[in-house]
Amino acid sequence: MDMNDGPADAEFRAEVRAWLADHLVGEFADHRGVGGPTDDEHWDLRLAWERQLADARLLNISWPEEYGGRGGTVEQEIIFLQEHAAAAAPYWVGVQGRDLFGPTLLRHGTPAQKARFLPAITRAEQFWGQGFSEPGAGSDLAGLRTRAVRDGDEWVIDGQKIWTTFGDTADWLYVLCRTNPDAPKHRGISMLLVPADQPGVDIRPIRNIVGSREFCEVFLTGARTAADLVVGEVDGGWKVAMGTVGAERLLTTLPYQYMFARELRSLVDVLRDRGRTADPLVRQRLADAWIGLEVVRYTNLRMIGTLTRTGDLGSESSVSKLQWATWHQRLGELSMRLLGPSAEIVGDGYALDGFQRGFLNSRAETIYGGANEIQRTILAERVLALPKEAT
């Protein structure tokens, strides 16, 4: 693919860089790189930053203007993500609505649903949580047991969801429910939009291994939502959900390579200061890590090319997920080995440094967004046409 910007894209890239230079100052500049999908720190600062982006209409650039976007191109959306990540600007807090639910609603929602929810997401005024995984249905998402039953003009929902990122700050949940228990496993599922502030919704934060409260478990006991708040067709929620997962694989994870590059540079700097880079074996391990990161980067570029040409990612998203999740886990393990005993010492109150947080967080990365085992099965069956896995 041609990685050179055309005139319009070059002008837009210059606009984004100029805006970041003018606004990424003061407290925002002091907190470069904070946040991320596994980091709930500096919430108020990140929200303030997101609202500045919203005021400049730099959020959801490719969304239609009537929903608060610019009516721009996917290429411009990608340019913004690249420049924002390269500048190490604070990561926004509205990732669920902005990057996952919003694109899903744009594709599958009704005009009334889009008009009601999308502008508030673009203004960073309304926040969402994802109700997909369950204690017995994580990687096997189609095994979910949360039920929704129609009661007049409402749905009544009962069940449990888990690993709901930032669920305790969500105003709404987009929830996969089984609406037809007699249908085959991947059918009879619907995506319902459920207000979080009601007696039938109990959201409980879960503290993870690095001390963050980003995850929640959600108990739905007679929770209710309006009958018309189904995204897509009733019993057709599996197709809708797979579109959400597809969005997660590129646009949501595109900034990761910049975060990973900063981690690798920081590791090299620390090891150089300690005199470790004089060891040829250490240099070789760092060179191998750099090569792996370049593979991740070029895979992302290939995905960008596919997305801009066809509007779809296909199997390349599974390749990318396998690559970056496995690479980052190995980088975390390498950091712990090369930093030696100091990597095993935490600060007061279990305070962790960046290397320790990266190592611990990476343990989950081969699971969320599609477990590695599932991605290998997808590639084996759908790309290589190998025999289907025995059930």
**Which residue ranges make up each domain of the chain?**
7-93, 128-233, 253-383
Q: State residue 391's pLDDT score.
A: 63
Q: State residue 334's pLDDT score.
A: 97
Q: Name the pairing type of β-strands 230-231 and 154-161.
A: unpaired
pTM: 0.87
In one letter, which amino acid is 152?
G
Which superfamily does 253-383 belong to? Answer: Butyryl-CoA Dehydrogenase, subunit A, domain 3 (1.20.140.10)
Q: State residue 314's pLDDT score.
A: 66
Number of neighbouring beta carbons within 10 Å of residue 254: 20
Q: List Cα–Cα distances, 55 to 19, 164, 384, in angstroms.
A: 12, 28, 47
* Residue entry with tokens 């320790």: 356
Low-confidence residues of the chain: pLDDT under 70: 1-3, 37-38, 244-251, 311-314, 391
Greatest alpha-carbon pair distance for the chain in Å reads: 73
27 is catalytic: no
β-pair partners for 6: none
Q: State residue 390's pLDDT score.
A: 72
Q: State residue 70's pLDDT score.
A: 92
Which superfamily does 7-93 belong to? Answer: Acyl-CoA dehydrogenase/oxidase, N-terminal domain (1.10.540.10)
Q: List Cα–Cα distances, 259 to 169, 266, 324, 352, 357, in angstroms.
A: 24, 11, 12, 17, 13
- Give the E-state strand segments of 24-111 in sequence order: none
Contact 244, 386 (CB under 8 A): no
Cα 249 from Cα 252, distance rounded (Å): 6
Comparing CA positions, the residue from 264, 281, 385 lying closest to residue 324 is 264
The arrangement of secondary structure in 128-233, i.e. its CATH architecture, is Beta Barrel (2.40)
Cα 377 from Cα 61, distance rounded (Å): 34
Cα 218 from Cα 201, distance rounded (Å): 7
Comparing CA positions, the residue from 300, 349, 259 lying closest to residue 267 is 259
Q: State residue 245's pLDDT score.
A: 63
Which residue of the set 248, 263, 316, 365 is catalytic? 248
